[in-house]
Amino acid sequence: MVSRKALAALLVVHVAALLASQAEAFVPIFTHSELQRMQEKERNKEQKKSLGEQQRSEEVGPLEPEEITEEEDDQVIKFCQAKQKAALLELLHELYNFLAIQAGNFECGNPEKLKSKCIPVAEAQEYIANVTGSSTAKFEAALTWILSSNKDVGICLKGEDPSELVTTVDKVVCLESARPRMGVGCRLSRALLTAVTHVLIFFWCLAFLWGLLIFLKYRWRKLEEEEQAMYEMVKKIIDVVQDHYVDWEQDMERYPYVGILHVRDTLIPPQSRRRMKRVWDRAVEFLASNESRIQTESHRVAGEDMLVWRWTKPSFFSDSER
């Protein structure tokens, strides 16, 4: 048997493995510091581009007014695109955190009495507008980016039918986090509950298999005992039929055969006949197929047809020798 220390160690290891497997569910799509680094990277890229263009303009010399206007327009467009991308990343960051926290609260007791982990679009949009000041158009642009992106951003967009795939923003009904963010206590309690459940299931399966093994051993023992009882019954039947035939040869019996039911009633007491019925039936079947010294015949005895057994002596000489 497994010792208590070993069982406790296995339980602790299992809980730790569950906590490690759930770690992915609590890592955001990108942290605030990562978001700042991405924004700084975009600004440095734009500064390098503007500096390079300024150096080229100094080398080439003064440009025509039309050319200066085109260069300035390109810079303005690129700068606007960088700002839009940074704003989109910030919006997605806040949306991810909001949905992850709401889903975690729903999984951990649901203190806010949420109906579902899937947050309605209007509620999510209102929260993002209060936090980032983003407009409805920017929020819809973020949803469009999620739909068109091939990356797993941890945000699921769902429609009226959760089983159907949403392809357009106007069909989105609610937003759900694929990685709920739960507290350490909640994670630990859930992991411990899961581990205990797995241990209980394991022991239930072990108990079932142990009980099944005990039942099979009991069944095999009963079959062996029944087979042994059948052979003993066959031996008793042979002795009764043979003794009856010997008594008939000595004119002590009227007929050379004896009824099958009469033999049964002689060998088995009335209170045991129901319990021994299977043993008796198997013995009769065994004699019919494996014992050549006893023949099964049908005779009329006392006005009734019944099956009887007759003892036959073995023939030591063939017909030609006679």
Residue 139 has pLDDT above 80, yes or no: yes
pLDDT score for 229: 94
By residue range, what is the domain housing residue 287? 222-311
- Is residue 99 located within the same domain as residue 150? yes
Q: What is the CATH number of the domain that holds 260?
A: 1.10.10.1180
Residue 237 has pLDDT above 90, yes or no: yes
Q: What is the DSSP string of 278-299?
A: HHHHHHHHHHHHH-SSEEEEEE
- Is residue 156 located within the same domain as residue 244? no
pLDDT score for 26: 41
CA dist 279 and 251 (Å) reads 33
pLDDT score for 74: 67
pLDDT score for 23: 46
The verdict on residue 193 lying in a domain is no
Residue 124 has pLDDT above 50, yes or no: yes
pLDDT score for 25: 44
Q: What is the mean pLDDT of residues 282-288?
A: 93
3-class SS of residue 243: helix
Q: What is the mean pLDDT of the chain?
A: 80
The verdict on residue 138 lying in a domain is yes
- Is residue 158 located within the same domain as residue 228? no
The verdict on residue 151 lying in a domain is yes
Which region holds residue 28: left if phi is over 0, alpha if psi is between -120 and 50, else beta? beta
Strands in 257-259's sheet, in edge-to-edge order, are 257-259, 304-311, 294-301
Identify the band that residue 44 occupies on the pLDDT scale cut at 50, 70 and 90. low
Angle between helices 32-60 and 65-107 (to 10 degrees): 170
Number of separate domains in the chain: 2
Q: Identify the residue whose tokens are 């043979």.
A: 242
- Is residue 170 located within the same domain as residue 240? no
pLDDT score for 236: 95
pTM, 2 dp:
0.50
Identify the band that residue 185 occupies on the pLDDT scale cut at 50, 70 and 90. confident
